[in-house]
Amino acid sequence: MNESASPALVPLRQSWPPALVARYRAAGYWRGETLPGVLRERATRFADDIAVVGGEVRLSYAALWQEAGRIGAGLLARGLVPGDRVVVQLGNTPAFVTVVCGLFRAGLIPVYALPAHRITEVRHVLDKAQARGYIAADRQDGFDYRVLARELQALLPALQHVLIVGDAAEFGAVDSLQGDAALLPPDPDPQSVAFLQLSGGSTGLSKLIPRTHDDYIYSFRASNEICGITRDSVYMVALPAAHNFPMSSPGFLGALYAGARVVMSPGPGPDAAFPLIARERVTCVGLVPPLALLWAQAAAATAHDLGSLQVLQVGGAKLVPEAARRVIDSLGCRLQQVFGMAEGLVNYTRLHDPLDVVVGTQGRPISPDDEVLVVDDHGHPVAEGGIGHLLTRGPYTIRAYHNDPAANARSFTEDGYYRTGDMVQQLPGGYLVVRGRAGDHINRAGEKISAEEIEDHLLAHAEVFDAAVVSMPDAFLGERSCAFVIAHGTPPTAASLKAWVRGRGLAAFKVPDQVVFVEAFGTTAVGKISRRELRAQLRERYLEQTGEPR
């Protein structure tokens, strides 16, 4: 790697202690496979099988490998160097897969932004990753990413390579990338970082999650077995492909590993997905709870044949038992609950678990070597079956965020456990029930919003004296965000504050759903009160006053 052109990833390798590395290898979790290595092998073994479908595009495994080679070689020909980070902001199209596979082939490190992200978020991610490249679509859902790219380039001189899928305007076009495939590097070290995923971010801005070839491949290879993915499966990506859930649980990478077919749905709603399910005979798809309920409702009235669906996975946020039953009754396929996190640990209910387990728990870990601790506020294990903080470490859970010592000190224990921020209860057999969160994020239909991040944007408004953002129960979204605001003098309108937050260059899902002006936070507690307690008090008082259900 060219160190001077491209600051080295710290850490390029995740730091599992040597004894655990040996253990994970000996147990056969880490097999020394790499993402480009797997793609090459599948391109030979399943050459003419269809790998990826989207719009009118149908790519075979051989064609995917070739496309990835063209893109990867083209990026290197432009001056990117293996090890360079490239932020990818693409929707659910076959280009998402070809671009990411192209980066893998070139030894470049994808950093996954969501299509919903706007300049503040993308800039932060580019900065944090010290990325030299940015690849986006021309337009999507009415948004022009070329305008965003121009603004980014003006702000970040290190961003030398902007490439666009579609009409590239003055930028490089992904479609016309060309290079010498013979110059692509050899397969990387299986323990090196393959890409950087974004954290949901409970405190402030997103953190970067370095995942290695060995650890990530293990997570989706094992997921395939648990989710019943084989070469005959047809896996639909309905949630944004950049999320860990549709990427690897088992996700499109699991599907490609198995030689199955991946179908990219342009949107997550029934309108986009149902015709594709019928046409492609989709067998497995992952959704967040509000979408699963929407699908359940729409399935009753649809003319599309959904009979091919075998497994509907639901995760990203809590699916309450009543909703789980409704989903099972209306969709007539197996339900699988998925409780995971981009940092690693993923829990699944198993396909043949009894109904009460499928409906009433969020599953159990993938791996026999996923270590799970449920502890009280002081870090001591709670009594069996008690509710406590979930800590975890294991063969596919990170030991540190990328380039973030402060977050690492908060988020990991000294002996390497990741503090998930989730409150759980552990049942016999290792099944987990999610009981809430200790952290301060809002889980809005599976999208995580940091209270602190939004408070900072509100506080930047001249007429805002103080702000506290909390989650409120929402019948459809699970949670929505509510900002309590103390104004300087006459309060601005709620609409203008929402417009302010949007104008700060943030994803639309982060704009507070509700703004409540208050005179003071008026804590009753004596002495100093933490922001967390303050948020909890405001929320409780509001719910009491309004009589909203909790």
Cβ proximity to ligand OOB: between 192 and 443 the closer is: 443
398 phi and psi angles, rounded to 5 deg: -65, 160
The side-by-side arrangement of strands in the sheet containing 50-54 is 57-60, 50-54, 261-264, 234-237, 284-287, 311-315, 334-341, 344-348, 364-365
**Rounded to whole angstroms, how far apart are CA atoms 219 and 57?**
28
Determine, following the binding rule CB under 6 A, whether residue 340 of this chain makes contact with ligand OOB: yes
Shortest Å distance, C-beta 114 to ligand OOB? 10
CA distances from 323 to 287, 291, 301, 408 (A): 13, 11, 18, 36
Among 191, 192, 219, 244, binds ligand OOB (CB under 6 A): 244
Determine, following the binding rule CB under 6 A, whether residue 64 of this chain makes contact with ligand OOB: no
Cβ proximity to ligand OOB: between 64 and 217 the closer is: 217
C-beta separation of 117 from 242 below 8 A = no
**Rounded to whole angstroms, how far apart are CA atoms 227 and 223?**
6
C-beta separation of 111 from 214 below 8 A = no
Residue that the structure tokens 């408070």 belong to? 455
- The piece of 34-42, 397-405, 418-426, 503-511 that touches ligand OOB (CB under 6 A) is 418-426
- The piece of 137-145, 156-164, 314-322, 393-401 that touches ligand OOB (CB under 6 A) is 314-322
Shortest Å distance, C-beta 143 to ligand OOB? 22
Determine, following the binding rule CB under 6 A, whether residue 422 of this chain makes contact with ligand OOB: yes
**Rounded to whole angstroms, how far apart are CA atoms 132 and 113?**
15
**How is residue 275 written in tokens?**
């015709």
Shortest Å distance, C-beta 336 to ligand OOB? 10
- The piece of 48-56, 128-136, 310-318, 512-520 that touches ligand OOB (CB under 6 A) is 310-318
**How is residue 374 written in tokens?**
């449920």
Determine, following the binding rule CB under 6 A, whether residue 342 of this chain makes contact with ligand OOB: yes
Shortest Å distance, C-beta 489 to ligand OOB? 38
Determine, following the binding rule CB under 6 A, whether residue 88 of this chain makes contact with ligand OOB: no
- The piece of 127-135, 159-167, 291-299, 417-425 that touches ligand OOB (CB under 6 A) is 417-425
Shortest Å distance, C-beta 139 to ligand OOB? 26
CA distances from 249 to 237, 308, 341, 342 (A): 11, 20, 10, 10
DSSP for 11-51 reads TSB----HHHHHHHHHTTS--S--HHHHHHHHHHHTTTSEE
Shortest Å distance, C-beta 339 to ligand OOB? 4
Among 207, 419, 437, 444, binds ligand OOB (CB under 6 A): 437
**Rounded to whole angstroms, how far apart are CA atoms 205 and 224?**
32
Binders of ligand OOB in range 111-150 (CB under 6 A): none
Among 132, 318, 364, 457, binds ligand OOB (CB under 6 A): 318
In the complex, residue closest to ligand OOB by CB: 340
C-beta separation of 379 from 405 below 8 A = no
Cβ proximity to ligand OOB: between 177 and 323 the closer is: 323
DSSP for 437-494 reads ESS-EEEETTEEEEHHHHHHHHHTSTTEEEEEEEEEEETTTEEEEEEEEEESSSPPPH
Determine, following the binding rule CB under 6 A, whether residue 338 of this chain makes contact with ligand OOB: yes
Using CB under 6 A, count the residues that bind ligand OOB. Answer: 24
Give the interface with ligand OOB as residue ranges (CB under 6 A).
Answer: 200, 244-245, 249, 315-318, 337-342, 346, 362, 420-422, 434, 437, 443, 446, 448
